[in-house]
Amino acid sequence: MSILVIADHNNQTLNGATLNVVAAAQKIGGDITVLVAGSGAQAVADAAAKVAGVSKVLLADNAAYANQLAENVAGLVADIAKGGYKYVLAASTTTGKNLLPRVAALLDVSMITDIISVESANTFKRPIYAGNAIATVQSDEAIIVGTVRGTAFDAVAAEGGSAAVEAVAEANDAGISKFVSEEIVKLDRPELTAARIVVSGGRGVGSGENYHKVLDPLADKLGAAQGASRAAVDAGFVPNDFQVGQTGKIVAPDLYMAIGISGAIQHLAGMKDSKVIVAINKDEEAPINSVADYWLVGDLNTVVPELVSKL
Amino acid sequence: MKALVAVKRVVDANVKVRVKPDNSGVDLTNVKMSINPFCEIAVEEAVRLKEKGTVTEIVVVSVGTKDAQEQLRSAMALGADRGILVETADEVGALEVAKILKGVVDAEKPELILLGKQAIDDDSNQVGQMLGALLGAGQGTFASEVKVDGGKVQVTREIDGGLQTVELGLPAIITTDLRLNEPRYAALPNIMKARKKPLDTKSPADFGVTTGTKLKTIKVEAPAERKAGVQVKSVDELVEKLKNEAKVI
């Protein structure tokens, strides 16, 4: 059985989420091919070729794929998939979620979002209702298309493989969409979904200024990534890509510190698989306490600086 | 310009769902149902475009049981002009919903098609993209800003690293993210008026679509419970626990 994994990348580096998808592909078992569709993406293909467990890398290098426009990439992926692949997998990133349903529809097959476990060759588990239920689904489709939740699979090694890189000539420009601009938030901290420790703030931090004043020193001290609840994002404290939750990013770090976060269902869905959860909140009844391993009731403006000084 | 908005009837966002004891699904008897929050944002965006004079007519469509009429009426109370219910009691997968919506689009010929980015029950995040493929139309998914200008639409999308803006030709598909807008509340007179707005009922067969899905749900379980935690009384105790008990710092 052959598995096509769509690489998540920015034309220069391979996103670590792809390593989790390869891990899921190994659980299914079969020959793993990684497709790198991009522009000037040779370095990404070279990186993909070194990933443990990958037997072949396809590089579709064309201006049409430069910004991962789903309209252009989906046609390419569908054509390659029709050439004999049984599975098409991608990471549950915004890129994967934008692309794969379009691929599935072109192949006229149903798709599985957010696979968290491989039960057998055609049976998978996925969370529904904001993670309040886990569904086991069986696909009877000829080609199984799915996105993989990275935090549910341990990444394979980025080094050790020696796959051959083959060029794909197909240049598929659907001509119905155009990239205009991009605004990427520059961060000096670890990437949120890959971090070992996450420090997250909610509405309780009060303002954007206070978010940074209180949480930055803690994140610095712990070498942690920073996250936020939807309430903090909606209030404009931090950009939306900080959002942890059902409709934001899903994280599962070793330590998740929820500060000034009440713990709405939608937030819990994004972090309740963390190994250790700490809640710091002035409300003794906050729902976050029901999932926290340790919770401290107090004013975050005094507790957090005290914590920083004692670490 | 005509806009088509797809809405889904789902369990209300504030309800904590329970898995049925026989693991066949979640228990939805006597549970409050609402418009999916992302669909509500899609309706609001269409109404705002109508208020700006860009959109002239808003058609709302839902695929589901007869009860989904309620959600279509709510959408009409927010400002949609008429509704289409594609009635089916069977299970319908995302691909089948997309095929039905393609049938509706072919019949109605809207230039803008708005959907929520995902339904909060199945959390699939698929229908808009699938509809884009079936129609051969451009897709602006996870939209936080929409600007219609002549024959084009610019969509600012929420992506993992930040924001991305794309330009699409018409017809275009837009799936809404939470930050696109703040939906209004329906005023009582508008709720009364919505009752008189036209609502057509169709069936999947009218669009040549067979319901069902090749994705079978075998079992639905409650997620593993986390073991109860402890309240710590001081920062010192917290640091001590994290260092010596949890060993995470």
Listing DSSP states for B54-114 in one string gives S-SEEEEEEEE-GGGHHHHHHHHHHT--EEEEEE--S-B-HHHHHHHHHHHHHHH--SEEE
Whether residue A52 is found in the same domain as residue A157: yes
Residue A182: inside a domain, yes or no? no
Integer Cα distance of A279 and A282 in angstroms: 10
Backbone angles phi, psi at A14, to 5 degrees: -80, 125
Whether residue A94 is found in the same domain as residue A49: yes
What residues pair up with A191 in beta bridges, in sequence order? none
The number of domains in chain A is 2
- Residues present in chain A in total: 311
pLDDT at A180: 97
Whole-model pTM: value is 0.95
Nearest to B121 among A114, A129, A275 (CB): A129
Rounded percentage of chain B residues whose pLDDT exceeds 90: 92
- Whether A119 and A152 have beta carbons less than 8 Å apart is answered as no
With a cut of 90, say whether residue B4 has pLDDT above it: yes
CB pairs under 8 A between A and B: 256
pLDDT at B141: 98
pLDDT at A259: 98
Residue A190: inside a domain, yes or no? no
Q: What is the mean pLDDT of chain B?
A: 96
Whether residue A241 is found in the same domain as residue A133: no
3-state class of A250 per DSSP? coil
Residue A91: inside a domain, yes or no? yes
CB count in 10 Å sphere of residue B21 = 7
With a cut of 90, say whether residue B244 has pLDDT above it: yes
Whether residue A95 is found in the same domain as residue A25: yes
- Whether A99 and A74 have beta carbons less than 8 Å apart is answered as yes
What residues pair up with A166 in beta bridges, in sequence order? A58
Whether residue A137 is found in the same domain as residue A247: no
- Residues present in chain B in total: 249
- Residue B121: closest CA among chain A residues belongs to which residue? A129
pLDDT at A1: 80
Residue A149: inside a domain, yes or no? yes
Query: Which domains are seen in chain B, by residue range?
Result: 2-245 (3.40.50.620)
Please state, in angstroms and as integers, the Cα–Cα distance from residue B209 to each residue in A123, B93, B106, B186, B202, following that order: 26, 12, 13, 34, 12
Whether residue A159 is found in the same domain as residue A219: no
A128 touches chain B (CB under 8 A): yes
Local confidence pLDDT in tens for the 311 residues of chain A? 899 999 999 999 999 999 999 999 999 999 999 999 999 999 999 999 999 999 999 999 999 999 999 999 999 999 999 999 999 999 999 999 999 999 999 999 999 999 999 999 999 999 999 999 999 999 999 999 999 999 999 999 999 999 999 999 999 999 999 999 999 888 889 999 999 999 999 999 999 999 999 999 999 999 999 999 999 999 999 999 999 999 899 999 999 999 999 999 999 999 999 999 999 999 999 999 999 999 999 999 999 999 999 99
Integer Cα distance of A56 and A49 in angstroms: 7
- Whether B130 and B94 have beta carbons less than 8 Å apart is answered as yes
Whether residue A294 is found in the same domain as residue A157: no
**Is this complex's ipTM strictly greater than 0.90?**
yes
Cβ contact (<8 Å) for A182 and B216? no
What residues pair up with A178 in beta bridges, in sequence order? B167
Residue A259 is labelled as binding a ligand:
no
The CATH number for A295's domain is 3.40.50.1220
User: Considering only CA atoms, which of A303, A277, A274, A254 is closest in space to residue B233?
Assistant: A303
Residue A92: inside a domain, yes or no? yes
Range of the domain at A119: 2-167
Find chain A residues with C-beta within 8 A of B98's C-beta: 105
Please state, in angstroms and as integers, the Cα–Cα distance from residue B96 to each residue in A4, A105, B68, B88, B129, following that order: 24, 10, 17, 12, 13
- Whether B152 and B54 have beta carbons less than 8 Å apart is answered as no
pLDDT at B161: 86
| Cis previous bond, B171, omega within 30 | yes
Find chain A residues with C-beta within 8 A of B212's C-beta: none
With a cut of 90, say whether residue B248 has pLDDT above it: no
Integer Cα distance of B178 and A268 in angstroms: 17
Distance between B18 CA and the closest CA of chain A, angstroms: 8
> Looking at per-residue confidence, does B212 or B96 come out higher?
B96
Cβ contact (<8 Å) for B126 and A101? yes
Give every CB contact of residue A282 below 8 A, 6+ residues apart in sequence.
A204, A297, A298, A299, A300
The CATH number for A14's domain is 3.40.50.620
Give every CB contact of residue A112 below 8 A, 6+ residues apart in sequence.
A124, A126, A137, A139, A144, A145, A146, A147, B215
pLDDT at B62: 98
The residue among A167, A188, A213 that closes a domain is A167
Whether residue A113 is found in the same domain as residue A38: yes
Residue A191: inside a domain, yes or no? no
Whether residue A147 is found in the same domain as residue A240: no
- Residue B96: closest CA among chain A residues belongs to which residue? A110
Please state, in angstroms and as integers, the Cα–Cα distance from residue B210 to each residue in A201, B130, B207, B213, following that order: 47, 16, 9, 9
Residue A153: inside a domain, yes or no? yes
Rounded percentage of chain B residues whose pLDDT exceeds 70: 100
* Residue A148 burial class via C-beta count within 10 angstroms: exposed 0-12, middle 13-18, buried 19 and up: buried
pLDDT at A124: 98
Nearest to B217 among A137, A140, A197 (CB): A137
Confidence tier at B32 by pLDDT (50, 70, 90): very high
Nearest to A138 among B124, B169, B218 (CB): B218
The residue among A167, A183, A213 that closes a domain is A167
CB count in 10 Å sphere of residue A164 = 10
Integer Cα distance of A31 and A56 in angstroms: 8
Whether residue A98 is found in the same domain as residue A19: yes
pLDDT at A186: 82
Whether residue A153 is found in the same domain as residue A12: yes
**DSSP annotation of A14:** B
With a cut of 90, say whether residue B150 has pLDDT above it: no
pLDDT at B249: 83
- Residue B170: closest CA among chain A residues belongs to which residue? A176
Residue A263: inside a domain, yes or no? yes
Integer Cα distance of B225 and A24 in angstroms: 24
3-state class of B20 per DSSP? coil
Confidence tier at B109 by pLDDT (50, 70, 90): very high
Nearest to B130 among A67, A105, A240 (CB): A105
Whether residue A72 is found in the same domain as residue A202: no
What the block records as the tokens of B77 is 């109370």
What the block records as the tokens of B248 is 């995470």
Cβ contact (<8 Å) for B238 and A307? yes
Single-letter amino acid code for the residue at A240: N
- Whether B38 and B117 have beta carbons less than 8 Å apart is answered as yes
Which residues of A, range 23-62, sit inside 8 Å of B by Cβ?
none
- Whether B169 and B148 have beta carbons less than 8 Å apart is answered as no
Residue A276 is labelled as binding a ligand:
no
